[in-house]
């Protein structure tokens, strides 16, 4: 079963607007990662945030992590048409020896020019 | 540094046949994971190999198997193909088992 659940499932915005996607998970984690996937292609890693971090930035991307609520958000500022893609969160559990990434179903983002 | 390479990129097979997909990880990466992606089910974990040993396995039938070689290259095999096996199969490698994963472009398998 999927650990991460992204919200919303689909998002459509205009160029220049900000896009916010959320991810909730169920178990305690070691880290949480956000990935992007263009249609039919492989996933590309965006940001990794560790369980002891609350916020991380990378260019126009801002990720927050709230371990008390077991949730994370990805904010893309000043969106561009090229940001159109699916965005996935993945968590790594800190339970025992289980180190596999567990994925959500993704948020499909459409940025309209 | 070359990225993760998956071959072939596209494949069409007939029901009942078997297929082998190949993944060459980034040099130095010892962890290789395989995923199946379909529109309805999202990204489903198949298995993970680290240093030639299967470390984790997803909830897939025994028709799905894999292996990793001493040079970290990995193969996955699906026997007795079913129509529902049509999907994009993605391979990812990482330096550490819980670190950033680098994905290949995937193999698009169509079963007819």
For residue range B34-48, what is the model confidence (pLDDT) as tens digits? 999 988 777 889 999
pLDDT at residue B42 in the model: 78
Name the band, by pLDDT with cuts 50, 70 and 90, for residue B53.
very high
* CB atoms A103 and B45 under 8 Å: yes
Contact A79, A87 (CB under 8 A): no
Which tokens is A88 given?
A: 């996935």
Contact status of A10 with chain B (Cβ, < 8 Å) = no
Burial classification of residue A32, based on how many CB atoms lie within 10 Å of its CB (0-12 exposed, 13-18 middle, 19 or more buried):
buried
**Distance between the two ends of chain A, CA-based, in angstroms?**
36
Mean pLDDT of B45-59: 90
- As to burial, measured by CB atoms within 10 angstroms (0-12 exposed, 13-18 middle, 19+ buried), residue A59 is exposed
Q: Which one of B4, B43, B98 has the shortest CB-CB distance to A92?
A: B98
Spans in chain A with pLDDT lower than 50: 1-2
pLDDT > 60? residue B58: yes
pLDDT given at position B39 = 81
> C-alpha distances in angstroms, A69 versus A26, A30, A47, A73, B31?
9, 15, 20, 12, 30
Whole-number pLDDT of residue B67? 96
Mean pLDDT of B70-91: 96
CB of B42 within 8 Å of a chain A CB? The answer is: yes
Contact: B104, A44; criterion CB under 8 Å: no
Spatial CA neighbour of B87 closest among B111, B65, B105 = B111
| Chain mean pLDDT for chain B | 93
Query: Is there a contact between A33 and B55 if contact means CB atoms under 8 Å apart?
Result: no
What pLDDT does residue A102 have?
82
d(CA A84, nearest CA chain B) in Å = 17
């Amino acid at each position: 079963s999927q650990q991460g659940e992204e919200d919303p499932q689909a998002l459509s915005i205009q160029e220049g607007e900000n896009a916010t996607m959320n991810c909730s998970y169920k178990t305690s984690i070691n880290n949480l990662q956000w990935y992007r996937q263009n249609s039919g292609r492989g996933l590309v890693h965006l940001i990794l945030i560790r369980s002891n971090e609350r916020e991380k930035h990378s260019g126009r991307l801002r990720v927050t992590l709230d371990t008390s609520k077991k949730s994370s958000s990805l904010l893309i500022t000043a969106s561009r048409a090229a940001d159109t893609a699916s965005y996935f969160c993945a968590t790594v559990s800190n339970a025992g020896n289980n180190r596999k990434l567990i994925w959500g179903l993704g948020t499909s983002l459409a940025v309209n020019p | 540094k070359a990225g993760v390479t998956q071959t072939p990129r596209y494949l069409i097979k007939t029901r009942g046949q078997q297929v082998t997909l190949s993944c060459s990880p980034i040099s130095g990466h010892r962890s290789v994971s395989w995923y199946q992606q379909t529109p309805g089910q999202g990204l489903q974990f198949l298995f993970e190999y680290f240093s030639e040993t299967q470390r984790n396995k997803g909830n897939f039938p025994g028709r799905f198997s894999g292996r990793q070689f001493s040079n970290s290259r990995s193969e996955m095999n699906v026997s007795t193909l079913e129509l529902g096996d049509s999907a994009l199969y993605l391979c990812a490698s990482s330096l550490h088992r819980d670190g950033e994963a680098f994905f290949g472009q995937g193999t698009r398998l169509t079963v007819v």
